[in-house]
Amino acid sequence: MPRLSRLVIALLPLGLMLPQPLAAQAPAMPDIALPAISVVTVARTVLRDRVIASGLVTPVETVQVQPLIEGQPIEALMVDVGDSVAKGQPLARLSETALVLRKSQLEASRAAAVAAIAQAEAQRVEAQSAAAEALRVRDRTERLRSQGSGTRALADQAAAQADAAQARVTVAEQGARAAEAQRDQVAAQIADIDLQLQRTLVIAPVAGLVTARNAQVGAIASAAGPAMFTLIRDGLLELRADLAERDVLRLATGQPASLRAAGLGEPLPGHVRLVEPTVDPASRLGRVRIAVDTPDRLRSGLFAEAEILVAEREALAVPVSAMDGDAVLRVTAGGTVERAPVTTGIREGGLIEITSGLFAGDVIVARAGAFVRPGDRINPVPAEGIAPAPARGVAGATQ
């Protein structure tokens, strides 16, 4: 038998032992299980850009009330701490006794000055009459001398008497003017006393709320001492808060704010009254003043917190947790993950605004640190959708 035939015959039993084809014998391998990853859908929501500020409640303007006259004892106090006063309302009354006595003395001096004026006027009239007569005598004597009926000595004597009479007129007129000046001086002193008598009534220079009363009955009123009364002008209060540089630059006059303080059940409305134009070079903090729209609900000196609304708009938003630096992981229709660069805007609570790079309806990985890389295929599991950010919170204060 040929050698090849013997080899075929020898292998024939072995061939009967070979397995069936692999596709017919081995079971089908299962599909690879994809990782289940939480995803969210990009949607539009209302976002608010807010700044949180805290500080002390202080008066917008404090007015110190001092006496306008010195050295008079306080006779009566008409208001107390906590009273609301109107402009021009009496706050205290000072004693008038010494001023009334001084006015009586000046009234007597004025009467004497009036009498002196009358006497000086009479002397002036008398001097003018004597001077007129002396001038006539001088002129007559001079005519007689020129006609040869008189002497030079008589003419000179008459001229001298006329000059003396004229001088007495001048003296009388000056005396009358001096008496009038004395009368005017006394009248000015009386007017000053009348003004001081008016100022014995201490009045409120502005409308406001009395916050301090240092005046005491019987004490001597003096502007050199503590203020008699302290007023909050018009009762207006404001919150003065120090903020970081980046927050100060985002604020502007008129922006709405809500204030909270211990004991308040609900926030109080307010608005930014002033953003001070300088930043402290040491602390790098700037100051903002927030007016309280309902100051009767607060008290000066309270610690309060304000939430200032910088901007509010409807925009695309994603969870902050979905951010991977300046990008998110977008999931394609086939379940493949891809990196999508984005630009962001307002951040409020757990949401952040997307200004470019995504569209409404896009699906993204909810957590960027979910061990998913671009190019991976995942089994997307819908997570909680986009919701408005919480109403308050320090987390919403930064962008």
Are 35 and 378 spatial neighbours (Cβ–Cβ below 8 Å)? yes
Is 132 among the domain residues? yes
Clarify whether residues 112 and 159 are in a common domain.
yes
So what's the pLDDT on residue 170? 77
φ, ψ dihedrals at 252, nearest 5° = -150, 155
So what's the pLDDT on residue 387? 55
Residue-wise pLDDT tens digits, 49-105: 999 999 999 999 999 999 999 989 999 999 999 999 999 999 999 999 999 999 899
Clarify whether residues 71 and 120 are in a common domain.
no
Clarify whether residues 159 and 282 are in a common domain.
no
Distance, C-alpha 251 to centroid of its chain? 14
Is 274 among the domain residues? yes
So what's the pLDDT on residue 151? 64
From 320, 291, 275, 352, select the one nearest 48 (Cα to Cα).
Answer: 352
User: In this structure, what is the dihedral angle of CA atoms 197, 199, 200, 206, given to the nearest 10 degrees?
Assistant: 150
Clarify whether residues 320 and 370 are in a common domain.
yes
Is 222 among the domain residues? yes
Range of lowest pLDDT (8-22, 150-164, 294-308): 8-22
The pLDDT confidence band at residue 26, using thresholds 50, 70 and 90, is very low
From 77, 71, 80, 135, select the one nearest 102 (Cα to Cα).
Answer: 71
Last residue of a domain, one of 311, 342, 366: 311
Instruction: Report the domain count for the chain.
Output: 4
The pLDDT confidence band at residue 16, using thresholds 50, 70 and 90, is very low
Last residue of a domain, one of 231, 248, 271: 231
CATH number at residue 341: 2.40.420.20
The pLDDT confidence band at residue 394, using thresholds 50, 70 and 90, is very low
Clarify whether residues 128 and 255 are in a common domain.
no
So what's the pLDDT on residue 22? 39
Is 398 among the domain residues? no
Residue-wise pLDDT tens digits, 108-118: 888 888 888 77
Clarify whether residues 220 and 89 are in a common domain.
yes
The pLDDT confidence band at residue 370, using thresholds 50, 70 and 90, is low
Residue-wise pLDDT tens digits, 251-303: 999 999 999 998 888 899 999 999 999 999 999 999 999 999 999 889 999 99
| The amino acid at 156 | D
So what's the pLDDT on residue 8? 35
Residue-wise pLDDT tens digits, 27-41: 544 556 888 888 999
The pLDDT confidence band at residue 152, using thresholds 50, 70 and 90, is low
Clarify whether residues 175 and 139 are in a common domain.
yes
Is 397 among the domain residues? no
From 80, 90, 77, 63, select the one nearest 198 (Cα to Cα).
Answer: 90
Q: Which structural domain range is residue 152 located in?
A: 97-199
Determine the Cα–Cα distance for residues 270 and 290; give it in Å rounded to an integer. 7
Is 295 among the domain residues? yes
Q: Pick 250 or 27 by higher pLDDT.
A: 250
Determine the Cα–Cα distance for residues 49 and 218; give it in Å rounded to an integer. 58
Clarify whether residues 190 and 321 are in a common domain.
no
Residue-wise pLDDT tens digits, 223-242: 888 999 999 999 999 999 99
Last residue of a domain, one of 214, 231, 248: 231
Clarify whether residues 70 and 215 are in a common domain.
yes
Range of lowest pLDDT (124-128, 326-330, 388-392): 388-392
Is 149 among the domain residues? yes
Mean pLDDT of the chain: 83
- Please give the sequence-ordered ranges of beta strands (E in DSSP) within the chain, or none if there are none: 36-41, 43-59, 62-65, 74-77, 84-85, 90-94, 201-203, 208-213, 229-233, 237-244, 256-261, 268-279, 285-292, 303-319, 327-331, 337-341, 343-348, 351-356, 363-365, 379-382
- Is residue 384 predicted with pLDDT exceeding 90? no
Q: Pick 165 or 218 by higher pLDDT.
A: 218
Clarify whether residues 109 and 156 are in a common domain.
yes
- Is residue 307 predicted with pLDDT exceeding 70? yes
Clarify whether residues 72 and 208 are in a common domain.
yes
Say which residue the tokens 């809500």 belong to: 258
Percent above pLDDT 90 for the chain: 52
Is 21 among the domain residues? no
Clarify whether residues 177 and 134 are in a common domain.
yes
